[in-house]
Structure 1
Amino acid sequence: MTKLNNPVSVSREIGGRTLTLETGRMAKQADGAIFATYGETALLATAQGAKGRPGMDFFPLTVEYREKTYAAGKVPGGFFKREMRPRDTEILVCRAIDRPVRPMFPKGYRDEVQIIVNVVSYDRVNEPDTLAAVGAMAALSISSLPYKGPGATVRVGRINDAFVLNPTQSQMAESVLDLVVSGTADAVTMVEAGALELPEEVMADAILFAHEGVKELCAMITELQGMVGKAKIEYPAPADNPWTDKVETHRAALIEAMATPGKFEKRAATKAVISEAKDAYLATVGDDEQKDAGKDLGNAFHDLEGDIERKSIIDNGRRADGRALDEIRQIEIELGVLPRAHGSVLFTRGETQALVSATLGTGRDEQIVDGLKDEYSKRFMLHYNFPPFCVGEVRRMFSTSRREIGHGNLAERSVNMVMPDPEDFPYSVRVVSEILESNGSSSMASVCGGSLAMFDAGCPLRTPIAGIAMGLIEDGDDHYVLSDILGSEDHNGDMDFKVTGTATGICALQMDIKIQGLSADLLRRALSQAKAGRLHILGKMNEALAKARTEVSKWAPKIITRTIPVDKIGALIGPGGKVIRALQADYNVRIEVSDEGVVNVASGPEGDIDAAVAAVEAITGDPEVGTTYKGKVVSIRDFGAFVEIFPGKEGLLHISAISNERVKDVNDVLKMGQELEVECTNIDDFGRVRLSVPGVTGDGGGARGGSEGGRDGGRGRREESSEDAEIGKVYEGRITGLKTYGIFVEIIPGKDGLCHVSEMLPERIRSPETEYSMGDDVKVKVVKIDDRGKISLSMKSAVEDAEPAVGAGEPGS
């Protein structure tokens, strides 16, 4: 019987783990399908083409990457419990696949191509993003689509000054570099990197190291293509434009128009030349040819404009706006332009302008990120908005575009590299870059503006950071590297190379190459020229604001941080969050507690943050002898009252310590809930607190801790009752301490003993705290007094004994 599935696969050891590409078993109706595995991470990548729509003037390539939550054994959140719209992380992977794949199709190709990648297994060791790109390129390679591959993608880390190919998730946690490189066997075509201020030389070496890994994967895909690859579709080269020669006669007029200063002024001048010529030419063709002729004329003039811009650089060493190749546009910086924003800047570089704001928040404002990995939070966010008016256009505004997400991510990962540690700056930060004008390098303006806005808000970045976009014009063996490129230089040039960093080194990098790769020498040259431009921009930024303002904005929340013992976290939170909620309500603050005991108290202008911090310190600290506290009466007994000096901590205010006058009945002078000042006069070795009203000279019922055999632990014992406890005697006592192993009972003022859980009632009691409360009256019998004076008590013996009880408040009666 013929098998339905006939898998064919190739495997390689990459980074010490096996990477396998398989086809012929899944999705066999797709033009190209690859089941890729790396360790136990697995995904299915498919490539499919379709006839393009008539009149299409761009290449309709779409990439969809989805991380199925079942891959990690998780159920999606939300009401519907299924995967919905793609997350930002998935969109970023889509872009990382699209960018190196798109240039590998023939020029002028207009048929539809769709790449779909589904992650179906995730081992939490091998990241699926680079594997997705490899799977997608392999699927294209074995398909009939005219993809000029193969290509591949790898990740490189740097640990202990050594490069690591395709590091694991745990290795990446130790790496100072996160570099993703795509390319062919001959050249690098795309680079994406984040780094902790790496020198240019190290970054160049890392890219070349990555390319060696790319070559190995390309050989693997070539092997698979030789085994199962389909014949490629023959795509004819586009026919020559019939209007090219006629349009060429307008070169001189177009050169003059393109020399007009200003983006919109130049656009108007060139439009006038082109419109006049087009009208004249269209008048010579019939009505049925108007549409095609108009399109061909537009393409011919578009190509002529690009050629003029390139020739100006090649022949004259001057650019469209008259600058030298390494010259940076004029920069203007205005700080604090938004009165109520915590930090703001209007950053203008030539005809690119960004209004950037920084908002400081607390831990509750951090972004919660969920996906295949365990849920985590981001304390720094940078959002990039590119409205149509910034380029003088009108278009419908939908949700955030993929381009906006990609540009925002580049700027975010750049600035995040210089963020202060949470211990030094406990705020979360959201930066928003509103692009108001754009003529190239708007994402780099967002980096510069983000750094300045955060300084303006009082966020102490480790060092200022800036970004610059580089370009390239290739003419045979000659290469012209451009600094701070315009939009037209990006469009007509051969490379878009964005570099961000500090005065020390590179923090992020993004490179897209339209030509057949970049040599090592040219890569180093571009990085060196980018550094010079970056340092120039940093100089301008430092002239405006070189470091963070000494105080955060008055409109920002104030945060004070304290570290408490981990075993005090429960006391601060309280049962069911009762204590922490009360503090937040009483002082109008927000309190956040980490598992490590770091407490952040945040408040706006209306909150009493200092009082809240003092309360936190009191609750989580230990009472101190001689310190006065504001307490609240929570229980009244014949012998005194229990006063809560802070949530969860009570002390005994003995009847003799309430007033210098004789008090017959505690209820005559104290009421439940009454607030009063009390002084801590003694703390016994079990942590039980004795209180007194300040100025009262009474003995306060004696120092606590009689069961400790008279030890005061150096904490200023008060005078005890002169009566001694008697073995065999039954007392009516009061509970002064609850422990898991038993209760402490005061049987004579100032003298208490331990009733072990085995001697308590009811029988087989599981926890004293579930049966008794502080201050409860109980009947106990003294069964033992050891050589140190420690008293052992028994409830069971007291019940069995017929001897009359003696009240604790009236010893010996």
Structure 2
Amino acid sequence: MLRRPLLAASCPPRRIRSLATATFPTQQSATVTVGEAEVTFRSGHMARFADGAVTAETADSAVLATVVSKPKSNGGTPTDFLSLNVDYKQSAAAVGRIPTTYLRREMQQSDADIIASRIIDRSIRPLIADGYTGTTQILCKPMALDETADGVVLGLNAASAALAVSTVPMRAKVAAVRVGIVDGQITVNPPMNAFTQSPLNLLVSGSREKRLVMLEMEGDQIRTEIFLESIERAFTQVDKLLDLFDDFESNSDKEKTPIDSAYAEAAAPIKEAMLDLVNDPLTYILLDPTHDKTSRDVAINELRKSVVDSLYDKEGTTSQSMLNTVFADHVKSTLRRLTLDLGQRCDGRQHTEFRPISIQTDVYKRLHGSAIFQRGQSQVMGTVTFDSPAAAFHPDSVAQLLGAQQKKMFMLHYEFPAFATNELSTSSRPFNRRELGHGILAEKSLKYVVPDDFPYCVRLACQVLESNGSTSMASACVGSLAMYDAGVPLKAPVAGVAIGMVSNDEGKYAVLTDLAGIEDYAGDMDFKMAGTARGFTAMQLDLKTLGLTPDQLRDALVAGRGGLDHVLGKMNEAIDKPRAEFKPTVPIIATMPVPAHKRNVLFRGAAYNAKLIEAETGVRVYVEDDESVGLLAPNKDKLAAAKKMIETLIEENTSLDLIFGTVYKCEIAELAENGIYVRVRPGTRPVFIPNRNLDTRRVAHASALGFKQGDYVHVQYLGRDDASGQHRFS
């Protein structure tokens, strides 16, 4: 009797899908010369399951950008928050290195990776179509990089091209270039290693009609005319990239996801009903200059609850989420209309007017330097700490290969605690992306004015105590003030200001000086500028529109330059020059000549003697150069004690310089069971001579030969032992 195969009837045959029958995107490739770099873009050959994937290649370097987007099945309610996540993930393999982490794997993103992610995000976010509620993830991954390649610009352009061939709907396309000054000439996309000598590092993201979408700038007091010329040069190359991205989109076989109009149709009657309820009371709240941030927020929130409760239909199609979204849109549109039509801001200021500024320096005597900068309801405290050059930040080898500064003697850390906005902290992380980005911007604002030959390593900690807009630029101001209070001879004081803008569809716009929090929320622009009286040191532009026109950019620069001069004047009234002498709490830095061959006395055995000196005197000992060691002492007395300890240790442990075969007259310092200790020269460490070298006969104890402590004997030097390296005498 034949048996049936088990599961024959219950398991249908598997259908194997061949890659030959799979539908993959059309392969595309194009090359364009951008400034001094030739860039090739390829799509359809790699990561083909993603909604969009493009590699940007130049010379031997390449970056892959992928786009994955998942539209909501029910359309969803548009909100202020666009679900967009951008990650730039560095690869040690791309630079030919093994990661330096414990597991030798790429673990978390570095600071540079996070800053790159933010740059790409800020360039793309304002250009995604209004009303798109899907979740989008963009991942940029370097495949190969050398020291001349700009991974950030390659990643941003690859991401823009990947969006062009994806299903994500866009209002416009964006392209990016980097501008520097090489040999005195403004240059677009120079090699990255050229920026070590360039006084300007400007990254520009732009769209059609010379619209500026995003920028990141740091420089050594760059004049306005140089900056504008650099922007003009950048746009001569941006259009080349945009043309290429248009070709990629037209040849793509993917259709853009349509925007669901259901929300707009449902929201239209709600807007009309809400207009009658909230227009007058909301206008009154927004025009009342007696309100501060807290009272205004409370009044608006109470009005929102009242309106939502009156319009909410539990059995109908009107949801609370939709009502809240419509109300938020109405608050924004009302504030923008009042600012444009009446020329008045919600706190009663004119467009070019600043909030009140107050400054306090030398807040705590114990600190090396400190200041508090208050602008309206934004308050930041800055503290300066001096330490030895050994405390400088040294990035890992992979970061250095990617262009990181090899030794960082000035560092700024920015902290934004939850209490600054009266909120509860829900994160256990020491900092977030926003804090890191603001800190890097404030550090760029100040680093060009810190003297290169300043002997101390400087850490500037900026702590936000109250926040109502522009705390990163307040950090630049307080940092300059705190360093003056500490006695740092800055090349020039630095101030910072945030410039905003509101505009309408008819092309009317207003530029706002000293942006407040609610204006940042409802407005179109947050343009942060820092600089000295001579020029700009750092800029950062964030937009919600399709980009700044050339006229809007020039008006913003004029407002920024006037704002910086105003703040610098206030700062000069508080403290106009650095402290003449350091505070008594500032440690003393000194050097002490110690030749390299004697330095092992201090640093051998895991630097035991150097740690011993620090434990007993509080003086830190570190390597300064080949001829000396550095000392960081709390005061002069401790410094003198440490120097004396070093001299004693070296004297007791320094190797003798002896001539082979020479006979020396030595003092017996000690008799031991198996030999004697003799001091070849006064003040030197005794050396050991075993019993077997004291006589041709067997010697049980040195006293049998009549030796006593303090006697003198003649010994012959026989060089060092090959195994132990110890001196040999007979």
For the superposition of Structure 1 and Structure 2, which TM-score range results when normalised by the shorter chain?
Answer: 0.7 to 0.9
Summarize the Cα distance change of 1:114–1:645 in structure 2 as closer, same or farther, 3 Å threshold: closer
Checking the alignment, whether the CA contact within 8 Å between 2:596 and 2:627 is kept in structure 1 is yes
Per-residue deviation, 1:196: 0.6
Give the Cα separation in 1 of the matches to 2:725 and 2:153. Answer: 62
- Correspondence 1:138-153 to 2 at 5 A: 138-153=161-176
Paired amino acid for 2:281: A
Per-residue deviation, 1:611: 5.0
Give the Cα separation in 2 of the matches to 1:74 and 1:546. Answer: 48
Give the Cα separation in 1 of the matches to 2:666 and 2:530. Answer: 77
Partner in structure 1 of residue 52 of structure 2: 32
Give the Cα separation in 1 of the matches to 2:642 and 2:729. Answer: 32
Paired amino acid for 2:53: A
Partner in structure 1 of residue 533 of structure 2: 503
What SS does the aligned partner of 1:46 have?
strand
TM-score (norm 1): 0.74
Give the Cα separation in 2 of the matches to 1:676 and 1:579. Answer: 29
Paired amino acid for 2:240: E
Paired amino acid for 1:44: L
Does 2:551 align with 1:521?
yes
Per-residue deviation, 1:35: 1.8
Partner in structure 1 of residue 351 of structure 2: 325
Does 2:433 align with 1:402?
yes
- Correspondence 1:479-490 to 2 at 5 A: 479-490=509-520
Which moves more between the two structures, 272-281 or 9-18? 272-281
Does 2:341 align with 1:315?
yes
Summarize the Cα distance change of 1:673–1:403 in structure 2 as closer, same or farther, 3 Å threshold: farther
2:71 to 33, 47, 51: 51
Paired amino acid for 2:228: A
1:271 to 301, 315, 322: 301
Paired amino acid for 2:491: R
Paired amino acid for 2:30: V
Paired amino acid for 1:419: V
Per-residue deviation, 1:42: 1.2
2:393 to 367, 381, 396: 367
2:273 to 242, 246, 258: 246
Summarize the Cα distance change of 1:578–1:293 in structure 2 as closer, same or farther, 3 Å threshold: closer
Paired amino acid for 1:316: L
- Correspondence 1:637-648 to 2 at 5 A: 645=651, 648=654
Identical counterparts, % of pairs:
31
Which string of whole-angstrom CA distances, capped at 9 and with x for unpartnered residues, describes residues 629-678 of structure 1?
Answer: xx79xxxxxxxxxxx758647589xxxxxxxxxxx984499997999998
What are the ranges of 5 or more consecutive residues in structure 1 without an aligned counterpart?
619-630, 633-643, 653-663, 680-731, 739-766, 778-813
Partner in structure 2 of residue 214 of structure 1: 238
2:43 to 23, 26, 36: 23
Summarize the Cα distance change of 1:263–1:771 in structure 2 as closer, same or farther, 3 Å threshold: closer
Does 2:151 align with 1:128?
yes
Partner in structure 2 of residue 706 of structure 1: none
Paired amino acid for 1:315: D
1:289 to 316, 331, 343: 316
Give the Cα separation in 1 of the matches to 2:657 and 2:628. Answer: 27
Paired amino acid for 2:243: A
Per-residue deviation, 1:40: 1.3
What SS does the aligned partner of 2:412 have?
strand
Partner in structure 2 of residue 194 of structure 1: 218
What SS does the aligned partner of 1:369 have?
coil
Summarize the Cα distance change of 1:496–1:289 in structure 2 as closer, same or farther, 3 Å threshold: same
2:449 to 418, 424, 448: 418
Partner in structure 1 of residue 256 of structure 2: 232
Does 2:609 align with 1:582?
yes
Partner in structure 2 of residue 112 of structure 1: 135
Specify which structure has the bigger relative contact order, considering alpha-carbon pairs within 8 angstroms and separated by 6 or more residues: 2
What SS does the aligned partner of 2:316 have?
helix
- When the two chains are superposed, the root-mean-square deviation of aligned CA atoms in Å is 3.4
What SS does the aligned partner of 2:88 have?
strand
Paired amino acid for 1:144: T
Which string of whole-angstrom CA distances, capped at 9 and with x for unpartnered residues, describes residues 310-346 of structure 1?
Answer: 2222222221111111111111112233454332222
Checking the alignment, whether the CA contact within 8 Å between 2:78 and 2:131 is kept in structure 1 is no
Per-residue deviation, 1:579: 11
Give the Cα separation in 2 of the matches to 1:256 and 1:247. Answer: 16
Per-residue deviation, 1:581: 5.0
Which string of whole-angstrom CA distances, capped at 9 and with x for unpartnered residues, describes residues 221-278 of structure 1?
Answer: 2233333352222224433432212222232221212233211122223333333333
Does 2:501 align with 1:433?
no
Partner in structure 1 of residue 196 of structure 2: 173
Which string of whole-angstrom CA distances, capped at 9 and with x for unpartnered residues, describes residues 366-417 of structure 1?
Answer: 3332235348342222222222222223341231211111111111111112
What are the ranges of 5 or more consecutive residues in structure 2 without an aligned counterpart?
1-18, 659-664, 685-713
Which moves more between the two structures, 199-208 or 295-304? 295-304
Which moves more between the two structures, 239-248 or 150-159? 239-248
Summarize the Cα distance change of 1:677–1:539 in structure 2 as closer, same or farther, 3 Å threshold: farther
Per-residue deviation, 1:300: 3.0
Summarize the Cα distance change of 1:650–1:461 in structure 2 as closer, same or farther, 3 Å threshold: farther
2:477 to 448, 461, 466: 448
1:42 to 62, 70, 81: 62
Per-residue deviation, 1:115: 0.4
1:535 to 565, 577, 591: 565
Summarize the Cα distance change of 1:607–1:405 in structure 2 as closer, same or farther, 3 Å threshold: farther
Partner in structure 1 of residue 283 of structure 2: 255
Give the Cα separation in 2 of the matches to 1:584 and 1:372. Answer: 30
Does 2:377 align with 1:351?
yes
Give the Cα separation in 2 of the matches to 1:305 and 1:461. Answer: 44
How many residues align? The count is 653
Checking the alignment, whether the CA contact within 8 Å between 2:666 and 2:681 is kept in structure 1 is no
Paired amino acid for 1:350: G
- Correspondence 1:298-309 to 2 at 5 A: 298-309=324-335
Partner in structure 2 of residue 66 of structure 1: 89
Which string of whole-angstrom CA distances, capped at 9 and with x for unpartnered residues, describes residues 447-481 of structure 1?
Answer: 11122222223333222111100011224343311
Give the Cα separation in 1 of the matches to 2:387 and 2:623. Answer: 15
Summarize the Cα distance change of 1:86–1:645 in structure 2 as closer, same or farther, 3 Å threshold: closer
Give the Cα separation in 2 of the matches to 1:668 and 1:70. Answer: 60
Give the Cα separation in 2 of the matches to 1:155 and 1:439. Answer: 32
Partner in structure 2 of residue 334 of structure 1: 360
Summarize the Cα distance change of 1:218–1:665 in structure 2 as closer, same or farther, 3 Å threshold: closer
Structure 1 or 2: more helix by fraction: 2
Summarize the Cα distance change of 1:584–1:477 in structure 2 as closer, same or farther, 3 Å threshold: same
Paired amino acid for 1:513: L
Per-residue deviation, 1:108: 2.2
Checking the alignment, whether the CA contact within 8 Å between 2:42 and 2:56 is kept in structure 1 is yes
What SS does the aligned partner of 1:608 have?
helix
Summarize the Cα distance change of 1:547–1:23 in structure 2 as closer, same or farther, 3 Å threshold: same
Checking the alignment, whether the CA contact within 8 Å between 2:601 and 2:609 is kept in structure 1 is no
Paired amino acid for 1:441: S
Per-residue deviation, 1:768: 10
Give the Cα separation in 1 of the matches to 2:645 and 2:316. Answer: 84
2:414 to 384, 400, 403: 384
Checking the alignment, whether the CA contact within 8 Å between 1:181 and 1:192 is kept in structure 2 is yes
Checking the alignment, whether the CA contact within 8 Å between 1:124 and 1:373 is kept in structure 2 is no
Give the Cα separation in 2 of the matches to 1:575 and 1:592. Answer: 9
TM-score (norm 2): 0.82
Which moves more between the two structures, 99-108 or 378-387? 378-387
Summarize the Cα distance change of 1:575–1:600 in structure 2 as closer, same or farther, 3 Å threshold: closer
Summarize the Cα distance change of 1:415–1:669 in structure 2 as closer, same or farther, 3 Å threshold: same
